[in-house]
Amino acid sequence: MLSKKENLLETLRGGNPDRFVNQFEAFGIVMGDPISAKSPRPVPGQEIVNSWGVTIRFQENTPGPFPVHDDTHKVVKGITKWKETVHAPSLEVPDEAWDDCKAQAAKIDKSDKFVTVYGIPGIFEQLHYLMGMDDTLMNFYEEPEAMHELIDYITNWKIANAKLVCKHIKPEAIIHHDDWGSQLNSFMSPEMFAEFIVPAYKKLYGFYKNNGVQLIVHHSDSYAANLVPYMIEMGIDIWQGCMTANNVPELVKKYGKQITFMGDINNGVVDKADWTPELIKREVERACKNNGKLYFIPCLVAGGPGSTYPGVYDAVSKEIERMSRELF
């Protein structure tokens, strides 16, 4: 029997996996690095101001926190004056602040799992965290020069952060979050995406690949089928979060030898208060049978192990195990 790590690599490479990769099982995730700790995640009902000055609110009965973007709380009120209000967090922390992360990484069996870190938020998300979604999208059209400057600023900071992560944790994989669309379409045209977003990620993901990271897992639980060629250009190995709206089986057939797709089990369908084992069985079976054994990882489309409603993630994992016994 292959290890979780070996089985994932066989799946990505079009080899001979002996079962489905079961959601996030192959990733040993290291949490709580000292830079991220400067912006703690709020709990439901809480509001915090993160290290970029962004007000984040986690409303009750919602899947996660989101920035507050009224005129009072926006960090960037005029993009041409972004330098006056945008101040990246300091990366200065003592070396011993990384000790807990090092200890977590040391406990991971590297023969079975990839030592993995998160990157949150992504470059596009950092833009709309600072100024709101509407202003972000309008500024691509109206003030492209200033947007390029701000993107460079964010990207350079993320690369400087990545240097510390690679030095202290030595990750083998990164799960980087950046939602690029709604459930219906990408937030921007492929042409605009290519102009503003692709060059930044080629720098960032290129840095990780040049510093020991084997796998780039990019999370975008959205429609982004029209951006897949650019994901490949960026160096993404796995698109995690590909929703059913993307016609995942078609993407696997068209691009499978270049990128692997992880998802096709929508949280909006199964991760709800009235979920049932029968519902989850149906959705997992559909995803596994339609997408096949290679270049596909059945998974909830949310960006990490777990679910909004208790029991859902484990029930999905159980059904994936059943499909492995049936199809392999």
CB count within 10 Å of CB 270 equals: 24
pLDDT band at 300 (very low <50, low <70, confident <90, very high): very high
What percentage of the chain exceeds 70 in pLDDT? 100
Which residue range forms the structural domain that includes residue 117?
4-327
Mean pLDDT across the chain = 96
In this prediction, residue 201 carries a pLDDT of 98
Q: Measured at the alpha carbon of residue 31, what is the angle toward residues 183 and 224, in degrees to the nearest 5?
A: 20
**Residues 6 or more apart from 269 whose CB is under 8 A from it?**
244, 279, 283
In this prediction, residue 43 carries a pLDDT of 87
Residue 39 clears pLDDT 90, i.e. is over it: no
Residue carrying structure tokens 């994936």: 320
In this prediction, residue 167 carries a pLDDT of 97
Q: Which two tokens stand for residue 199?
A: 């060059």
Please give the single-letter amino acid code of residue 313: Y
Residue 62 clears pLDDT 90, i.e. is over it: no
In this prediction, residue 195 carries a pLDDT of 98
The pLDDT tens digits for 112-170 are 999 999 999 999 999 999 999 999 999 999 999 999 999 999 999 999 999 999 999 99
The mean pLDDT value for 269-278 works out to 96
Per the CB < 8 A criterion, the answer to whether 312 and 277 are in contact is no
Q: How many domains does the chain have?
A: 1
In this prediction, residue 281 carries a pLDDT of 98
Q: Model pTM greater than 0.85?
A: yes
Residue 309 clears pLDDT 80, i.e. is over it: yes
The pLDDT tens digits for 210-267 are 999 999 999 999 999 999 999 999 999 999 999 999 999 999 999 999 999 999 999 9
In this prediction, residue 38 carries a pLDDT of 82
In this prediction, residue 40 carries a pLDDT of 79
- CA proximity to 200, closest of 165, 164, 242, 150: 150
The CATH number of the domain holding residue 207 is 3.20.20.210
| Helix boundaries (H) for the chain | 4-12, 99-107, 123-131, 133-142, 144-168, 190-196, 198-209, 228-234, 248-255, 267-270, 277-291, 312-327
The mean pLDDT value for 284-297 works out to 98
In this prediction, residue 318 carries a pLDDT of 98
